[in-house]
A and B are shown apart, each in its own frame.
Chain A
Amino acid sequence: MTTTIERPLAPAPPDAGRGRARRRRENLAGYAFMTPWLLGFVFIIGGPVLVSLYLSFTDYAVLGEAEWIGAENYVRMFTSDPRFWAALRVTFIYLLVSVPLVQVFALFLATVLNRGIRGLPAYRAVFYVPSLIGGSVAIAILWRFIFESDGLFNNLLGFVGIETSHSWIGTPSTALSTLIVLNVWQFGAAMIIYLAGLKNVPLELYEAAQIDGAGAWRQFRSITLPMLSPVIFFNVLMNVVAAFQAFNSAYVVSNGSGGPADSTLFYTLYLYQRGFVDFDMGYASALGWVLLIISGAVAALLFTLSRRVVYYGDE
């Protein structure tokens, strides 16, 4: 909550006049350096946030004027738009399944790698590569070919004696899980953050626990988890924010449709369809604001929870 911003070691001003001149100079310099950001904040971020709030109360199809229709977009969304609810459901399932799984994989490998293992840099690099390329269109294309009915996955299953021609991406009940697998595949970035966090856990704690006869699992639960809790919180928060905004994989795998049967209709994909396929910009803006409120609420919930569970040392 408190930001400590250091102040320059200003020499004691010999008189008030020069101090004021100096302050003016600082203000001027500060805002001069900040000019790009200030312009960006007004025109690219802050302004558009407000404009989209306004647009969400209008009927606007790019061509023509925006027509004020009150809360109709929101009413429509909540009362008579099954695809909105489908998108919410898909996004929340994706988030609730993949974010914890990412943490489990990342934490597990970080603990294994942290025990003084040969070739740590190589392993770290190898497990990180998917995070680097996982969001690309190339990998999404690859995923399509892995989980088709005659794709790589089923072919490999055939090797171990499970013959199936189930199309994992073509069936509503399994399509989303292929995207979850794709997200979990990218656990490497979280793993690296956990590794950095583990380096800061004092070794003495483990030594003391060993003397007390604590086993590996007990040590993990009673030392690693609490000591890492700020890092876990950070990772969860970042992964949740990213999950709300996931788009590429669903778009490429479903060919932009969010199908089959809306089973991969990420919220962002639905917003894209309404805004840039149907050109229903008013409705898409309303969807954007609902996303803002939902992700804000989830972040607030996480922060509240963190105050109860996260251990911030002896402050």
Chain B
Amino acid sequence: MTITETEAVTVPPIRRRSAHSGRPRPIGKRQFYRHLMLIAMASVMFYPLLWMLGASFRDDSQINDPGFWPGEFFTFDGYAQGFEGVGGTPFWRFIANSLLVSGLCVLANLIACSLTAYAFARIDFRFKKIWFGIMLGTLMLPHHVILIPQYILFREFDWINTYLPFVVPKILATDSFFIFLLVQFFRAIPRELDEAARIDGCGHVGIFFRIILPLSKPALATTAIFTFIYSWNDFFTPLIYLTDTELYTVPLALRSFIDATSYSAFGALFAMSIVSLLPVLGIFIAFQRLLVEGIATSGLKG
């Protein structure tokens, strides 16, 4: 059933149209209006972000100014105050926590998902089709069905106020989207390479490490990038499992900012919001092509 998803993205098996989308013509009148419309739309969409950026450098008294430029009210106070953090914990601590959690999640996902994907793509074992079907089925399972038993289990293990509820599910390869992505990629690697390696005496472990992984860098990078972004933005898991302020990740810290500052320190709130967006935007700028291709081929959302 779920396999149609793959077809959905890759299906129309017809020739690429290179002439059409490839070569831009010189700007004529129609092109001009098209650019005008696109730029107008982008401006409307981006104005709120610019406004927040401006407001993060503006004095708190000017919060209602709809303009972007802080002008005479320019100040770094928001950033200074924001980095002081919440309840005695400085903000850099939240950033460090977030980096730690996201980094561990990336590592866990890379290892666990690629192992599983290798089994699905390259090893012929019993009941493989059934397991594969189940794996695809879990793609669409609403997370909230398993939330409560998971919480009870992790609580039983005394994992509240630790990062284990974030990382352990990833070590156990529960992010099926990335398994699916990697399976697709591994399958496209020619099998002749496996055969050659086998003749040279490699087993599955050798083929996995020496052939498949080195050839799958783009797919692994996509997995790493998206895992990082998801974990960095994850709000629900810390909301449930973290109560100790020292352990807060950035999204949870931002939220408690709203309560703690009770609408008096807007500059600080905006400043830290901007700071929280920077890693994601930085990754986007650095790996734009990989991200766009990742979405186009697999349907991953940001």
- CB-based contact B255/A6 at 8 Å: no
Beyond A52-B148, A133-B277, A199-B16, whether A150 also contacts B64 by CB under 8 A is: yes
Beyond A26-B125, A138-B276, A203-B20, whether A193 also contacts B295 by CB under 8 A is: yes
Cβ–Cβ < 8 Å partners of A261 in chain B = none
7 contacts between A and B (CB under 8 A): A8-B194, A37-B112, A132-B291, A189-B295, A230-B9, A238-B299, A244-B142
Chain A residue nearest in CB terms to B300: A189
Cβ–Cβ < 8 Å partners of A156 in chain B = 66
Which residues 145-195 in B have Cβ within 8 Å of A in the complex?
145-153, 155, 168-169, 171-174, 179, 187, 191, 194-195
Cα–Cα distance between A51 and B122 once the two chains are bound (Å): 33
- CB-based contact A5/B128 at 8 Å: yes
Cβ–Cβ < 8 Å partners of A242 in chain B = 301
- CB-based contact A275/B124 at 8 Å: no
- CB-based contact B191/A8 at 8 Å: yes
**CB of A297, distance to nearest CB on chain B (Å):** 12
Cβ–Cβ < 8 Å partners of B284 in chain A = 125, 129, 132
Cβ–Cβ < 8 Å partners of A180 in chain B = none
Stretch of B38-46, B70-78, B84-92 with 4 or more beta carbons under 8 angstroms from chain A: B38-46
Which residues 123-180 in A have Cβ within 8 Å of B in the complex?
123-139, 141-142, 145-146, 150-152, 155-156, 158-159
Cα–Cα distance between A13 and B149 once the two chains are bound (Å): 48
Cβ–Cβ < 8 Å partners of A119 in chain B = 35
- CB-based contact B172/A43 at 8 Å: yes
Which residues 21-54 in A have Cβ within 8 Å of B in the complex?
23, 26-27, 29-31, 33-34, 36-41, 43-49, 51-52
Per-residue A-contact encoding for B20-48, CB less than 8 Å = 1, 0 else: 11111101000100110110011001101
Cα–Cα distance between A303 and B142 once the two chains are bound (Å): 17
Chain B residues with CB under 8 Å of chain A are 1, 3-5, 7-9, 11-17, 19-25, 27, 31, 34-35, 37-38, 41-42, 45-46, 48-49, 51-52, 55, 63-66, 111-112, 115-116, 118-120, 122-126, 128-129, 131-135, 138, 140-153, 155, 168-169, 171-174, 179, 187, 191, 194-195, 203-204, 208, 229, 233, 235-236, 239-240, 250-252, 254-255, 258, 266, 269-270, 273-274, 276-277, 280-281, 284, 288, 291-292, 295-297, 299-302
Cβ–Cβ < 8 Å partners of A104 in chain B = none
**CB of A55, distance to nearest CB on chain B (Å):** 6
Cβ–Cβ < 8 Å partners of B23 in chain A = 116
Cβ–Cβ < 8 Å partners of B27 in chain A = 118
Which residues 70-127 in A have Cβ within 8 Å of B in the complex?
109, 112-121, 123-127
* A305, CB-defined interface residue at 8 Å: no
- CB-based contact B172/A36 at 8 Å: yes
Cα–Cα distance between A201 and B13 once the two chains are bound (Å): 9
Cβ–Cβ < 8 Å partners of B128 in chain A = 5, 30
* A247, CB-defined interface residue at 8 Å: yes
Interface size class of A (residues with CB under 8 A): 35 or more
Cα–Cα distance between A237 and B135 once the two chains are bound (Å): 17
- CB-based contact A202/B273 at 8 Å: no
- CB-based contact B144/A48 at 8 Å: no
Cα–Cα distance between A212 and B182 once the two chains are bound (Å): 44
**CB of B68, distance to nearest CB on chain A (Å):** 10
**CB of B263, distance to nearest CB on chain A (Å):** 10
Cβ–Cβ < 8 Å partners of B239 in chain A = 251, 272, 276
Cβ–Cβ < 8 Å partners of B38 in chain A = 109, 112-113, 117, 123
Cβ–Cβ < 8 Å partners of A196 in chain B = 9, 296-297
- Please name 20 further chain A to chain B contacts, defined as beta carbons within 8 Å, in addition to the given A48-B146, A48-B148, A62-B152, sorted by A numbering: A26-B125, A29-B119, A39-B172, A43-B153, A44-B146, A52-B148, A123-B42, A125-B284, A127-B41, A135-B233, A137-B233, A142-B273, A192-B296, A202-B14, A237-B5, A247-B235, A288-B142, A288-B148, A292-B142, A303-B4
Cα–Cα distance between A31 and B116 once the two chains are bound (Å): 9
